[in-house]
Structure formats: structure tokens, C-alpha cells
Chains A and B, each alone.
Chain A
Amino acid sequence: MIKDLVVIDPTRSHNDEDTHKSLILFHEFGEAAGSSSLNDKLNRVGIIQGLWSLTQSFEETQEEENEKVIELDNEVILVIKVESRYFMAISINEYENFDDTSKGTSNIPFQFYLGHLWLCYKFFVLKHGAFSKFNDNADLTNNLNEHIITFWNDIYLKPDTLIRQGINVLWPNAYKTSELADLLESETATLADDESWDTIINRKILLQEESYLGVKDILIYNLPSYSKDRATGILNDKRSRIGTKYFGLVRNFCQAFESLPDISNWIYHLTQQYDVISSHVLAGNTHYKEVPTTDDNNDDDDDDDDAGGFTTQTTGAGLATFGNKLYHNMTLPISFAYDVVQEVGVTAGVSSSMSYLKSYMPSWTTSTPNELETNRSSERKRYGYLISPLAQSSLPSNYKIIKLNLKFGSQAKFYNVLFWYYENMLAIIICDENFETIWNHSYLNDLSFILSLSMEKLHNKLETVKRPMQENFGYLIVDKNKSIPELRSSIPSCIGLFNPYQNESPLNLVIEGLDKFFSIPNLNIDKNGENVLGIDIMGSLFSTSKPRETSEISKRKSPYNNTFLDAMETDKLWTLYEELLIFLDSLNKSETKLNISEERLLTLSNGVLCYIKNDHQRTLIILKNWFDNKYDDYPTKEVTLFNNLGIDVTSWWAKKKYDME
């Protein structure tokens, strides 16, 4: 568990007496919060600097080391150096215990924390600019307080965020790309006359006279959606794993967008942290808060709604189960109304009226690409802005635009960024700060319409594509050759590792600064399901609200649900992660010469064949079921380590390599 967080700038201190000036931020988490004296804090500053100096004095190479891991008997301190002078350090004093009923206790390895420490810094720069840009130290501290502490506090309260992105987080400089574009590529070739979905965006938005150079770039993401079991309210971890390779950045349109990994990882982080992207989440007003456990499990409450599909704790303190927080976030406006009505109901003794309101509460399930076909029925797809100037004027400015510090080419500057969604596709529209047209509502509506056309085309195309079988093996490719490292992966994330019952911990979502606003009883949703507030939540929210029994999804076996990793038990998947970490760690430590590529093939006792290749161009990991002998015809007589994986892997790689190059 994270113990404390320190940010220091040693250059601020010039002698022994003003050491305290170098301390920019010191925060302790949990029970120990606030227990350290100034002397303790300064000691921590001193030891971080001392260790850095000691290790640096041994560095012979010109290459400056920017991260250090200090392992103590029962604690790990992770230190990174950013902008050549700032140190950020977190210490982890005890590890999170996973499901200890099954196989004892396990730990989250520090590599996941280290990856998030880097992400934390990158997200800060994305939102506020570099540390060194702050002339006023107090201003920097305030912003750090606002950003970094909430970032880690959310992780402290929901530590499985650390591992939900899987091992992708070990490459914080890379971003995950979706392979939807690859899937469509062949189709595009055959239908050359037809205007493709990306051409629509390019021609009708980016190259339009009205928005030319004003709209700098549009990023299209396909994001996972985490469904939960209706009976238990617990996330269905296996189901949400399906189609991992298609999640991520589908495409962007500007070649020299250097902040692409940072903004992408930010979106992925928000998805993993809060399960879904909503206006509140993007605006940064959604955070976890610890509430007293005594308010949980109010079983006496008779407001449970069977038709709603989950149990809602109706205590005044808020939600009880971890699973419900997501629901709460999404339906916050309704929830407030719900609370109001409930209070009235309790007061008036008419508790049964609650069920009527609950019937209107939306719920959602996954809508991964495989299900697009099944969802294609006449239902109207959900789309709209999450962050746009269309938001009600009374909302704070960060609901209208989000200013992000982005780097196109060499110079970083702030851009206005809008967020729009279409089902589970997220579009990020990056506009120049001087591009005033975005404040024009009709332009935004037109933009939304064009985007919806494009997305509809994309969805339609996906439905027509004769989808190839999902490979029956997992893979991860980190393409280091590109100026901006890319990551492709079909290895599912490790969701649901924590004991589900642990999620009954007193977690709650609080919406900061909006209480007042939501007290206004203007929470109507119009007949199209659009929120007049201008705030929204991603996902095929209303489309799956019909009873599951009638849904085609349940009847149809997903063509993607055949990767053995998707069906693997979570604890087994986690064991695999741990083993992969060891291999990757030793690979990173490997002293091999630069022009030598290293391949490894491991046969593990749990039935997984693991192939790793590392060279200066890319890192490739392939996980295959040892017992799957369907494709074990070797393509050549020479059984190299790679050929040994079978003809399915070799033919897949031949195509993939071609696609990547």
C-alpha cells in the first residue's frame, strides 16, 4: 500500500538552513497521514538526495538514469527524476493482499507502481504543463496537491487500478493501439469508391475550410466497457477481457503528435480507474472517498429492486458496494433526484415509490466490437459530447473544454480539447486555443453529426467485415522503432483479481463542487435520451436495458471468446503476469550487445508456452496454450524457437510485421 509521496526540488535549497525550501510536496496516505514532523520530512528529502548522489557517482555512462528503485526489508521507495531537477518519490510499505482464501497473499510488484508514477507525472504535465513552467512555487504545490494527491488517493482506495491495464503500464512511454483499423483495412481496399469512415473525418472536418488548422487532430479510441453481473453487482471480469486487441487508439490524423502516448494513457487510466468515461470523470470531478464502514450493508432497507438488477444500498451516506459506484457516477443526476425522492418517501412513508424511479435508471453491458452486429438492431446508437461548450452554462468551465498541454512537433502548448463519444468509441477533438468556432453551438452540432456519420460507417463496416477468428494465443508487441513507441496487445487485463468481497470496502464516489448544482431539479432527460445538461456517459447505455433473456448476446457465442487467456481464471492470469514480469526484468537487465536480438521460449508448468523476443526494434511476447496442438505443423523443417509456436503464429506474425512496417 502506498505510504507517502514526496516531490522535491533540491535546487531551491542553497544551504543547510533552507533545506525545507526544496520540499515541494509531502503527503502521507492512510492512517499515518499527518504523523510526520518537518524533521522526518526533511530526513526523507535528505536520504533521497543522498541515495541519488551515491548511485550517480558510480554511473560511468553519459546516459543519465532517471529512475531508481530502493528496496528495503518491507518497503519499496520509487524515485524518478524529471525535468533534470525534480524528484518524485513514492514509498510502498506493505503490499495489497489479493484473494487470500485461495492461495495465500500476493503482492503488486513495484513495476506497476513505477509505471503509474511516470504516468502520474505525464498526466500532470498534460493538464498543467511542466513543473519548471511554474514560476510561483506555491502555485506548483497547489496544483500538485490537486492533481497528484488525488491520483494516488484514488489508487490507494482502489489499488487494482494498478494492474487493470495489465503489463502495458510497464511501458509508460508507449501507447496501446487498437487493431480495428487493421481489421478494416482489407475491406477499405475492396470498397475504394466508398468514402471510408476516416476519410469522412479527414475531409469533412480536418480539411474543411472552417476548421482547417483550427482542429488540430481528432483521436478515435475504442474503449472497453466493464459489465457487471446483475445478480451480484460485481464486475464480470472475464467478459470484459474479450476483444482486448481492439481496445485502444483506432487512429489519429496528425503525424507529428508527440503527446499521443500521454493523452492515450490518460484516457486508458481513467477507464481503468472509474470503469467508464463520463463528463465528470473527464472534468476531473470524480474521485473516490472513504466512508465509514458502519454505513454498509443496511439489509433492513426494503428498497431493493429486483427489476433493476442490482442491490442499491439506500443509506444516507451513499453507496455501499464498490460495484455500485460506477452506476452512481453515471446516473448521478438521477441519483440525486432519487435521494430527494427517497427522503420524501421515507418521510412520507411511501417507500414503494422508489421502484418506479429505479425502473428508469439505465444500466449497461459490454459492447465490444464482437457485439456490434448483435446490437445493430434498429436501436439508435448513443452518441454525443462528453465535454463541449454545449454543456449548460452553469457548469464549470472544465465541462465545456479541457485545456491540455500537448506537443505537436517540438513545441508544447495548451490546446482546447473536446470529447465526444459514439457508443464505446471516444473521439478527442483537439483544437487550437484561438479556434473560436468551437464556441458556436451549431458548429458543434454539425461536428457531432459528421462524427456520428463516420462512426456509423465504421460500425457498419465492422458488421460487414468477415471477421477473422481471434488468434488463439495472446501477444504483446512494443514497437520501439517508431518515434512514438506503439503497443499492440491481446493479453487481457487482470480484472477482478482482488477478492470481490473486498470491494465492499467503504468506497464511494464524491462529486466535488457539484452538490449545489445538482440540487437544482433540472435533471430531465429528453425523449432521445440526451441529457440537456450537456453531460453524459459513454457506452451503449440504454440499448441493453431490456431483459437479458431476450438479448441476442446471450444466445450467440462470441467469435472472439476463444482466446485461452480470456477464459483463464484471474489468479492464474495473475501468476502469468508475475512470471512475465520476471522474464521482462531479466530481459531488461540483459547485457546483450545492441545488435543482438534475444529470443526465449519457455514452457511453463501451467500449460502456457511463452515466447519473448527483444531487439532494438521491438519487444514481442507471445503466449500460447501448450496443449493446443491444432496448429503445430511447423512451416519449415528447421524448428526455430519461433517456428515452434506453430503455423498459426508464424503466419500471423508474417502479416503483422508487414502491417507494422
Chain B
Amino acid sequence: MNVKDQYLDTASTRSFRSGVRPSKSQSGFNIKTRGQPSLSINLDNTIVQTIIPPVNNTLNGDNEDNVSLNNFPRLRSMQSISSIVSRRPTRPNTVADQLSVNTSFDPLIEQSFSYSNNIEDPSTRQAQDTAFNEEARKDLIDRLAQSIYSYPASLTGNSYGFKPVVSNEIPDVFINDNQTSPDFKSHSKNFFILTSAGKPIFSMFGEDKQIVPYMGIINTVVSYFQINETTNIRTIKLNKTRQTFAFTNKAPIILMAYSRRGETTNELMTQLDLLYSYLISSINERQLKRLFHNRSNFDLRNYLEVTDFDNLRQICSLLSNKLYPDFGLNALQCFVMRKTERARIHDTIHNLLINESKDIPRGTLLYGLILSHKRKMFKLCAVIRPKGHSLHTIDLQLLFSLITHQFENRDGDQELWLPICFPKFNSNGFLYSYIKYLSRSHANNSSQMEDTVLVLISAQKDAFYKLKTFGDKLWNKLQHDKLDEYFVKDRFKFRISDIQAPLVHHFMYKIKKYVQYVMPEIEIHNDDATKLTQYECKLKKYYGHLYNSVVDDTGLPINKTILNYFHWEEEEEGEEGEEREEGEDAITETQRDFKREKINMMGLIWITPQFELYLICNNGVNNKEVVLRSAKRIIGWCKKYESRLFIQEGATF
């Protein structure tokens, strides 16, 4: 459906075109904010609203006219359209006019501001109108239409060439705490790892000379309670400033997490457990205890390798700044493919395992995975596992982290043979992993690379050649049967617009039975890495907030079934005097003429014994029923495509 055809109002277009925009210096106009007639387009519960510039008279009413989108070729998205509201030009340079504009506006939107900066001169305006060519306008309208009238095209395999995009310009309702200061205390989150003797091992931020005194205090505090009170300190909570210090004593290692992000005790403890698990995956617990047995003063930093510190840093970064739901949800993401395709792959693996039992005797292969790797996120394509056994998600996440780092700067096809301790499987011993990159391809229309990785895990130290032979044969077989095509490119990756769930911006759906989750692709324009990080941080905060609201300190949901709605709204009083966020440029005169869209966000968390759904809506939604309807549609969609979205069985032997 084309919005242009359906909703354009040419009469209004004319009135807009002929309108003279007021300049701030024009005293002849007495324009009040509420007096601006506004443009309102109602599309399937989506209100797109902006203001028509005044037309040669004083405006006092709250008139609302329907006007064509053609009038606003420079507007790039739904949010952007609704963002732009004319301000009072008669009171420039006052504090009340200090406007902040949504920081996530893309360059084209910024162009729109520079355009309207010259509104005093109609000829300039016309020239710039032309500059906003038809292409940009068409793009906007297409995207608008697609974002509203979306349909499940991708999963039916017809998505090539069709890229509906929903704006990611959701406002940030949370305090921006991203610090770049060198002082480690200025960061809102930090991790410290030290030995029981107080020797530092690792800290996410802070140099040695800064953190060493703190390591001493941390060690004293932990030791005090252990010796004097025969107990362990778990947390220190500071209610007013929302700070939490979480401690884990895994003698001879002590870990501490610091956070002022409102995370629950359980969340921080789980994160510390992950860091400790990483250490154990590198040196197993038995080795660790042996190292410290007679030398409590041992400096573990000398024993660990550079890659270990890099990996720790990477895990900390994933925990702190990236949207990496694998940790938070304690689940894995799957590569979407048809049920029959996945079944064929699993059958092939299974048959090969049986047929090649001479090369790979029973008991050699413990576990096998085919993974898709893109932007440091792993998706499970296929699983080979013994019947009734599976690896703990933390063990798998550690494996993923290791793979990410090992292959970060790889050149051509490489294979690795790595001893890894899977702490949740057996913290005192190693398993051996054969890791091979199968293929690499460009993601659709993106510079991002998609890799396919084969991981075969064995308990036998000398099983490299057996696993390599099996891996090669498997890959050849997959290629021969043209099964590799199914997971070389992510054909069925979906966006939120592929689901008929109006007004939903993003969601995460976890199915408890399979310990797997699914979420739409995260996209932003121009693949801008900085903006992507900011956007991911924003989503992470929303989801973290949803999750934390319904779990107690032990991490258990307060009820077996929970349906919790959230609504964040900007208060009227805060609009004008609102503080500008750090890092924003000084406001321009143009920005002073416009008002940022009012924040009106909704979210939902729905937990049942079967699934967990976390959902964030677009800005401007405040109808609970619409949110619930969309949530139900998402659940219905996920159930409908369950066999595509999740690995239900895998190749078992």
C-alpha cells in the first residue's frame, strides 16, 4: 500500500507551499506554540504529527488540518516527522527556548534543520526544497508505509530486495552515563578481579597505580567477613545513588562488580560468575588452586596470556555496553532456517557420524556446533550432541567469546585446536575444541561479514586429526548436498516490520524449553558504528529495566506468570528547562525553532512458564490494548515459526 496514494491532501499541500515562514526577527507575527495548526495523519493507530507554518496571520487556535506528506520531503521517519514542531520565534535566546533535538537524528534530518534555518528567505527555502530530491521523499514515504503495513515476508523467503525499515529513533528515557573520563571511578560500571592476597589480576577500567589501593581494601573487606564473621560479603547497596558493589569470593580469586545502573544483585553475581568462569576456562580450577597452594602471593597476571585479558575485556564490554541478550536471558540465539532444511543438515551430520564411525570412534565427539557469526553475535545453525545432554549456556558463551577473539584478525581459512575448560561441565578438567571457519560472506547490503564456524568438542587430547577429518568430510558433504547455502547467508533474518505487530519497535522472545531466544535484526542507517553502539546501549537499558522490575534479588521472577506494562512519559514542566545531554552540540537557531518530540514510550514484559517476551514500542504509543494485541501477534508469530526460529532437537547420537 502506498501512503502517498492514500493519504495525500493536495489542498493542504498548497496552503503549506504558499505559506510564509516567519523569521525570528519578524515582529509582525505573534505566534504561539499552541497556536500552530498541526498536521495529523492517522495511519493504523500511528499518529504522525507536525506543525504547519503559519500563513500570514496570527494563530491562536488549536486547529488541526490534514496535510500531505509531500509537504515534508526532508523528513526521514515517523519519529522525525512527529519530532518537528515549531517553536516560539518571538523569544529567542532565552533559557526557555533552549531546545534539545533528538540526538539520534540522522544527517538528513540535520539537513532539514539547516534548511529551515534559512526560512527568512523564501527563495533559499525553495532551492533547498529542490535539493531534497524526490528520491529522499520517496524513501521516506516508502519506509513509512513499510513500517506500518508490514507483513511476514522474510520468513516465507521473499524478502530479497525488500527492506522495510522501522525507525530506530526511540528516545532515551534513561540517564546517559557513558563516561570517557580516564578516571576509572567515573565509569558507571566496573569489574575488579584480584587474588586473595590482594594482588590485582584485572580491572575493566583503571590503571594499576589507580586500582591497587582499592584492591587492598576489597581484599580486606572480603577477608574480614570471612575470618571474623565466618560468612561472605555479597553486596553493598547505596540506595540514593543507586550504586551496588557485588562481591564473589572464589578463593584464591576475589571478584567485585561495581554498578550504578540499577542492576539486581543476581544480575551482577551472574556477571561475576561469568568472568570467573572465563578464568577457569583458561586455567582450570585444579590448576588455579595448585598455583596458589603454596604461594598465596602468586601474581596470576604473569600466568595469564594477553589474549586472556583481551577476552576478559571483551566479555566486560559485552556485559556493560552491548546488547548481548545471551547473558541477560541466559539463552542462545538461533540461525533462522526452514524446518526441512535444518532437518536435512542434522540428518546429514547424523548419518555421517554413523557412517564414519571408523574415523571418529564413538566417544570421540562430545559436542558439535555449526555457528553463524556476525558482529560478534553468534547464532546456532546446527547442534550435534549426545542424547539427553547439552552444554550449559555459560560454557557456550565462553566458547563464543574465545572464538570471536581467536578469529578476529584471521586471514583465510584457519582451524584451531584449543583446550578449554567448561566450568559448568567440569571445572577441574579440559575439553578440546576443534574450530574451523567454513565460509565467509557479506551480509546483505552491508559491509558486515557473516562467518560460518564449525566447532567440534572432544574430551580426548589427541583427537585433533579425527575431528579434522570428520569436519572436512562434513563440510564437503554439506557442500556436495548444497546444504551449505542454507546457512551461508542469513536469508530469513527478519525485521520487526516483518511481523504484523503494529507500533512495536523491538522485542526479544525467549522460549524456555529450548533455552533459546529470538529478536529482530538491529539496524541503523549508514551502518554507523557509533550510532549502533548508542542504539544498542539504549535498547539494553530498556530491556534491563524491564527485566529488573519483575525479578527479586535471587533472580527469580516474582510470579510464574507476569504481565507487566511500562509507560515512560515526559512531564510537561520538564520540556522547556530540560537539561541538554552531555556531548550535544550547542543548539542552533534552527533547533530553537523546533521542539523535540515529547517522550511517550511503552514497554511490556510477559513471562509464563513457556516463554518470556520483552517488548519496546515506538515513541508516541500509550494504548495498552494495542501493545497487548501486538504482543499476542508476536507470540503467535513466534509460535507459528517456532521450528524455523529455534533448534528443537539437533543431531543427537
Residues of chain A having any CB pair with chain B under 8 Å: 40, 43, 47, 50-51, 53-55, 57-61, 63, 65-75, 578-579, 582-583, 586-606, 615-616, 638-641, 644
Contacts and interface: CB of A to CB of B under 8 A. Distances in A.
Interface residues of B, number: 65
B570 A596 contact: yes
A43 B224 contact: yes
Main SS class of interface, B:
mixed
A599 B234 contact: no
Contact of B558 (A72, A582, A597): A582
B599 interface: yes
Contacts of B578: 595
Contact of A603 (B239, B563, B567): B563
A59 B262 contact: no
A616 B570 CA distance: 11
B241 interface: yes
B233 interface: yes
A61 B599 contact: no
A321 B620 CA distance: 60
A72 B231 contact: yes
B568 A592 contact: yes
Interface of B: 173-175, 177, 185-186, 214, 217-218, 220-221, 224-225, 228-229, 231-243, 245, 258, 261-265, 541, 545, 548-552, 558-571, 573-575, 578, 599, 622-625
B237 A68 contact: yes
Given A75-B229, A75-B231, A598 B241 contact: no
Give the most central of A578, A588, A598, A615: most B CB within 10 Å. A598
B484 to A, nearest CB: 45
A49 B505 CA distance: 48
A376 B248 CA distance: 64
User: What 9 pairs between A and B have smallest CB-CB spacing?
Assistant: A595-B574, A589-B262, A599-B567, A69-B237, A601-B565, A586-B549, A603-B563, A591-B174, A71-B234
A70 B232 contact: no
Contact of A588 (B242, B264, B622, B625): B242
Interface centre among B228, B229, B564 (most CB of A within 10 A): B229
A591 B261 contact: yes
- Counting chain B CB atoms within 10 Å of each CB, the highest count among A69, A71, A583, A592 belongs to A71
Nearest to A595: B574
27 contacts: A40-B228, A43-B224, A43-B228, A47-B224, A50-B217, A54-B236, A59-B243, A60-B186, A65-B238, A65-B241, A69-B235, A69-B237, A75-B231, A587-B549, A588-B242, A590-B545, A591-B541, A592-B174, A594-B574, A596-B173, A596-B571, A597-B569, A598-B566, A605-B562, A616-B571, A639-B625, A641-B624
B569 A596 contact: yes
Which of B264, B541, B574: most chain A Cβ within 10 A?
Answer: B574
A596 B599 contact: yes
Most buried by A among B174, B548, B565: B565
Contacts of B575: 595
Nearest to A43: B228
A597 B568 contact: yes
A464 B218 CA distance: 66
A194 to B, nearest CB: 40
A26 to B, nearest CB: 15
A59 B221 CA distance: 18
Contact of A604 (B174, B175, B559): B559
B614 to A, nearest CB: 14
Given A63-B241, A69-B238, 13 more contacts: A43-B224, A57-B214, A71-B234, A71-B236, A72-B234, A586-B262, A589-B242, A589-B263, A591-B177, A602-B565, A604-B559, A606-B559, A638-B622
B568 A598 contact: yes
A597 to B, nearest CB: 5
Given A600-B566, A603-B563, A70 B236 contact: yes
A551 to B, nearest CB: 42
A72 B559 contact: no
Q: Which of A61, A588, A641 has the most CB of B within 10 A?
A: A641
A55 B245 contact: yes
A644 B578 CA distance: 30
Contacts of A53: 217
Given A588-B242, A591-B261, A644-B624, A72 B570 contact: no
Contacts of A605: 559-562
A579 B562 CA distance: 12
Contact of A615 (B231, B560, B571): B571
Contacts of A590: 262, 545
Residue of A50, A67, A591, A602 contacting most chain B CB atoms (<10 Å):
A591
A602 to B, nearest CB: 5
B565 A641 contact: yes
A579 B552 CA distance: 9
